[in-house]
Amino acid sequence: MKKPTAESGAAVKKTAARGAAAPSAPAAGTAEPLGSAGAKRATAKRAAAKTTAGKKTAAVKKTTAAKKTAPAKKAAVVRTTTKKAPAKKPAAKKAAAKKPAATAGTAKASAVPPRNESRTALVRRARRIDRELAEVYPYAHPELDFENPFQLVVATVLSAQTTDLRVNQTTPALFARYPTPEDLAEADPEKVEEILRPTGFFRAKTRSVIGLARALRDDFGGEVPGRLEDLVKLPGVGRKTAFVVLGNAFGRPGITVDTHFQRLVRRWRWTDEQEPDKIEAAVGGLFPKSDWTMLSHHVIFHGRRICHARKPACGACPIAPLCPSFGEGETDPEKARKLLKYEKGGFPGQRLNPPQAYLDAGGIAAPPLGAPAPDSPARGAG
């Protein structure tokens, strides 16, 4: 055996040094020793890869789950909305049920809904009502006693805020003492007040009638003018009073819009207007001008006898089939007959000196002031 030379020894040392500096890689399929740094790095990489893969998988699962649950959520929302919608309906019904209570004052009026009439149909119905009333009240007349235009204009002024009966019981004493405008113009206000006291508001009425008499004396020669524009200039005279005078003292057509007239034409749906001048215009357009005065008498007579403000006698009304407000009052015929007034109920009227036609129809003259009322037939007759 040869001894190693110096050269071969150096070569061996170099080879050993290279092997120590660069260890050889493990063979394929051979696990790296556990304690090595490379093994740690590899393990960390694999763990990171698994974590990343897990996150991606979780994200994919979440996205898929979200897509799957989205339609379900929408369906749930739809179902919830669909289910909740019917729950709101009873509330709406309750609100609707409360309406009649809120409009209690008009509940009866709406029991018979107004018809949607054309203008032509309204005119025909209105004129038919007037024809029917003309047959029921052929004796209709102004219910103030008067002998001349002066007495009529004074009586009409006094009729404010009282009944025609009370005026008719008061004016005989007034006209007996002051028969002409000149006489009344010179009257002592205190004496006139004593006469007019039963009519109410006697001081204001005294000022009006004395002022009216002075205007007639000073501006119209003691005569009542026959023109609307002149009449309304007189103290205490408005359009209603003027039309009463024009229609009944001068034979000139006019519509008298008093409280009865206003109430009835609204019940009949002739107009919805509230102001007297607008009611006058609306109703006047439904009739020939020649009918205006008697139309006023027919309507006012009916309002005083049958179609009352608080208790209309619907069951005894001759024009019930034409009335869209039928049912506001008593509909039972027997009970309704007990609500009739004046000649329709067998009671005295308002005039002390009524027309003969009224008496011939069964009407009874009113008693003078302070006199007892004459005996009347049993209530409900007539």
**Any catalytic annotation for residue 99?**
no
Residue 307 is assigned to a ligand binding site: yes
Using alpha carbons, select from 243, 288, 317 the residue that is nearest to residue 126: 288
At 57 the three-state DSSP class reads: helix
Q: Are 232 and 270 in contact (CB under 8 A)?
A: no
Look at residues 301, 319, 324, 363 and name the one whose alpha carbon lies nearest to residue 128: 319
Residue 323, annotated as binding a ligand? yes
Residue 348: beta bridge partners?
A: 364
Cα(209)–Cα(152) distance, integer angstroms = 12
First and final C-alpha spacing in the chain: 171
Question: Which is it for the CA torsion 295, 296, 302, 308, positive or negative?
Answer: positive
Considering 145, 205, 240, 291, which one is annotated as catalytic? Answer: 240
Helices (H), the chain: 6-21, 37-102, 119-136, 149-158, 164-177, 181-185, 189-196, 202-219, 228-231, 239-249, 259-267, 276-284, 292-305, 333-337, 356-360
258 is catalytic: yes
- How big is the chain by its Cα radius of gyration, in Å? 52
* Cα 174 from Cα 202, distance rounded (Å): 13
- 128's tokens: 């038919």
CA-to-CA distance for 148 and 250, rounded, in angstroms?
A: 10
Cα 49 from Cα 93, distance rounded (Å): 65
- 134 assigned ligand-binding residue: no
Q: Is 314 annotated as a binding residue?
A: yes
* Exposure of 269 in the CB half-sphere (CA atoms within 13 A): 20
Q: Which among 258, 335, 338, 341 is annotated as catalytic?
A: 258
Give ∠ CA 208-309-201 in degrees, rounded to 5: 20
Number of H helices, E strands in the chain: 15, 0
Annotated binding site for [4Fe-4S] cluster: 307, 314, 317, 323
Would you list which residues are annotated within the binding site? Answer: 307, 314, 317, 323
Q: Which residues are catalytic?
A: 240, 258
